[in-house]
Structure 1
Amino acid sequence: MAVQTGLDYMRSRTQIDCDTMNDQVAKSLGPFQDCTSNQAIALGELSKPARAEVTVASQADAKALHSNYSSIGVEALAVEIAMVRLAVGMAKHIRGRVHVQVNPYYSHSSEKIVVNALRIVQLFQHVQPGFDVTRICIKIPSTWEGMMACRTLQLAGVHTLATTLFVDNAKLLPLCAAIQRYYKSINARTEVLPASLTSVEEIFLLAGADHLTISPVLLTQLTQPYVGDVKSLFDIEATLPIPPRDASFINDPGNYQITFTRDQGGASQIKLTEAINIFCDAQDKLELLMKGPL
């Protein structure tokens, strides 16, 4: 009888996504459901000498297509094309969707986010004509404007993921289970996807989440035999209350903003701002990379 690995166990409980744009990881450690990414992940991949062809091709495409997308700079367009090229390369090695994140500089403009998302969908058709649009998921920072853009895009048939990168010593892992229980209680189609996990112990605690996206380092660690000494938060009685069903901020942005600003004494607002800054820094470096010689 084959030894069950940690990755085998997690796949029996949760849809496992790969948090990388390195297709070799998908080939060697798959199968995976989705492929998640962001500007920081794209920067790490495009900085590799082996990806120089992707950069050069994206620069050339951006110059050729810029007249169609003149509202943004050539370098910003080249970044989007490069991320799409990486995503198309990953799509053949996964079963589900490839995630591409919008330009983080648009985080506080619903209109710009929607335009950016639709442009990304169009760029998939340029890079690979006939690409199945249902396999595209647009990642959007979870500002108020971002979540309203998610709503608009979902109504238009474009899959979205509200995302934020939190770097925090005070882990809120139990919140993942509480949020998922809430969505199930209101029969929502929204799924929970914890990310930025830092250890296999955290991963095992979240067995049972709708999705988990895992970095290559932790995926490799999960190939070790599964010991089974960590109890999932999804297997214990809920310790956080489920909000009332009628709680909604969808038509009340002012109330949402002040509630979010007051959450955890302002910590949530600070973490969101830090996350956007991290992504903007990576965006800047990607655009600088695209300014290189063609």
Structure 2
Amino acid sequence: MAQTLLEQLRKITTVVADTGDIQAIEQVKPQDATTNPSLITAAAGMPAYSQIVDDVLLEAKKNLGDGADDKAVAKEAFKHLAVAFGKKILAIVPGRVSTEVDARLSYDTEKTLAEAHEIIKMYADAGIDKKRILIKIASTWPGIKAAEKLEQEGIHCNLTLLFGLHQAVACAEAKVTLISPFVGRILDWYKKDTGKEYEGADDPGVQSVTTIYNYYKKFGYKTQVMGASFRNIGEIQELAGCDLLTIAPKLLHELDEKQAELPRKLDPKNAEGHQIEKLTIDEKTFEEMHAKDRMAHDKLKEGIEGFSEALEKLEQLLAKRLAELGANKEQTVGAK
């Protein structure tokens, strides 16, 4: 019997679910799962997860005391909410979950470190080993420096919002566990900038991940490449063989419904034969290369702003829900 694209992909690539929707994760059965502020915000608004949200809010209210206003409680709660979803996800997947630090801290190394330690402690308090957690951090220079320190402490990191080779090389030199280059967002930028359509191996996002993968394998870096942010299954097929791919449930279902040959496109053995210049990246070089790379500059800025807006939306959603819980409690007391 012919195998589906997903069945073939699983043999050469670790398949990761890119969602905060626990029910979707139960259906697609990935090895790992990744979340981000936008995904957690979307999941938090689903009726199926209202109990998780309510429990986190009440716990945050208890921690801060009755005098705390709803906004303060919501700000405290959102950190715990990502971990609450992470704990549920880890009860399903056999591997790891990526939990992201506040995107608004992307240019502050010390605050990123503090929040990463807080996330790890919350998981530890729930009896979950740090080996099963990837701290997700934006690939800014301060973010990469924070990840380098965390890795030295045995805390594994997933560097996200990665669009350029300079970011990838800096991450590998920092010995981070894995990176998440954003295939679809790179494609979006080029389509808008050039007005062209791209397919298959011509897709700029596919080309970017292929370049990074070959660079890592050529020079023997241990950092793994996890392609992310896909617009179609064609991009996924072109990156078959990548260390990991994090894929939205909709595209996972498409891969599982299609039967066709899936040739391996990325292979460490092939990378050995490539002529590649080795780069040395310090902060000055990083910033110079970042400024010259319009796409990476634009998409990193846009990504951080987008995740920050998602967090603000989540805090507003949590504050509104907390007010509703308070009103319900008063009505219950009044009825007695």
- When normalised by structure 1's length, the TM-score is 0.88
Q: Find the counterpart in structure 2 of residue 37 from structure 1.
A: 35
Match of 1:218 in 2: 251
Please point out which of 276, 280, 284 is paired with 2:308. Answer: 280
- CA shift, 1:234, in A, is 1.7
**Once the 2 structures are TM-superposed, how far is the Cα of residue 255 of structure 1 from its aligned partner?**
2.5
Distance 2:8 2:298 in 1: 36
Structure-2 change in CA distance of 1:205 and 1:290 (3 Å): same
Distance 1:233 1:56 in 2: 46
Q: CA RMSD in A?
A: 2.3
**Structure 1 residue ranges without an equivalent (≥5):** none
Whether the 8 Å contact between 1:207 and 1:234 is mirrored in structure 2 is yes
Instruction: Confirm whether residue 173 of structure 1 aligns to residue 201 of structure 2.
Output: no
Within-5 A mapping of 1:38-53:
38-53=36-51
What SS class does the counterpart of residue 38 from structure 2 fall into?
A: helix
Contact 1:175 1:240 in 2 (8 A): no
Partner of 1:209: 242
Distance in 2 (CA, whole Å) between partners of 1:22 and 1:184 is 33
2:143 to 139, 143, 146: 146
Instruction: Check if 1:291 corresponds to 2:319.
Output: yes
Name the residue aligned to 2:266. 234
Question: In structure 1, what is the equivalent of residue 329 of structure 2?
Answer: none
- Please report how far the alpha carbon of residue 167 of structure 1 lies from its aligned counterpart in structure 2 after TM superposition: 5.1
Q: Hey, which bits of structure 1, 4+ residues long, moved more than 4 A?
A: 235-241
The structure with more helix, counted as a fraction of residues: 2
Maintained 8 Å contact 1:178/1:241: no
Alpha-carbon distance in structure 2 between the residues aligned to 1:119 and 1:66:
16
**Structure 2: how far apart are the matches of 1:12 and 1:226?**
15
Question: Using a 3 Å threshold, how does the CA distance of structure 1 residues 225 and 262 change in structure 2: closer, same or farther?
Answer: closer
CA contact (8 A) 2:218 2:274 kept: no
Moved more, 112-121 or 183-192: 183-192
In the alignment, what sits opposite 2:17?
Answer: 18
Name the counterpart of 1:248: 280
Percent of matched pairs sharing the same residue: 29
SS at match of 2:224: coil
Report the AA paired with residue 103 of structure 1.
D
Letter in 1 for 2:291: T
Match of 1:193 among 195, 201, 226: 226
Structure 2 CA distance for partners of 1:190 and 1:237, relative to 1, 3 Å: closer
Distance 2:64 2:146 in 1: 24
Partner of residue 91, structure 1: 90
Structure 2 stretches lacking a partner, 5+ long: 162-181, 191-203, 326-336
Q: Secondary structure at the match of 2:225?
A: coil
Tell whether the 8 Å contact from 1:174 to 1:233 is kept in structure 2 after alignment: no
**In structure 2, C-alpha distance between the alignment counterparts of 1:6 and 1:255, rounded to whole Å:** 41
Deviation at 1:237, TM superposition (A): 6.3
Compute the TM-score of the two structures, normalised by the length of structure 2. 0.78
How far the C-alpha of 1:12 sits from its partner, in A, is 1.0
Aligned length: 280
Whether the 8 Å contact between 2:186 and 2:295 is mirrored in structure 1 is: no
The alpha-carbon deviation at position 88 of structure 1 amounts to: 0.6
1:144 Cα offset (Å):
0.7
| Partners of 1:3 and 1:225 within 8 A in 2 | no
- How big is the shift at 1:73? 4.3
Residue in structure 2 matched with residue 134 of structure 1 by the alignment: 131
CA contact (8 A) 2:37 2:307 kept: yes
Question: Computing the radius of gyration over CA atoms, which structure comes out larger, 1 or 2?
Answer: 2
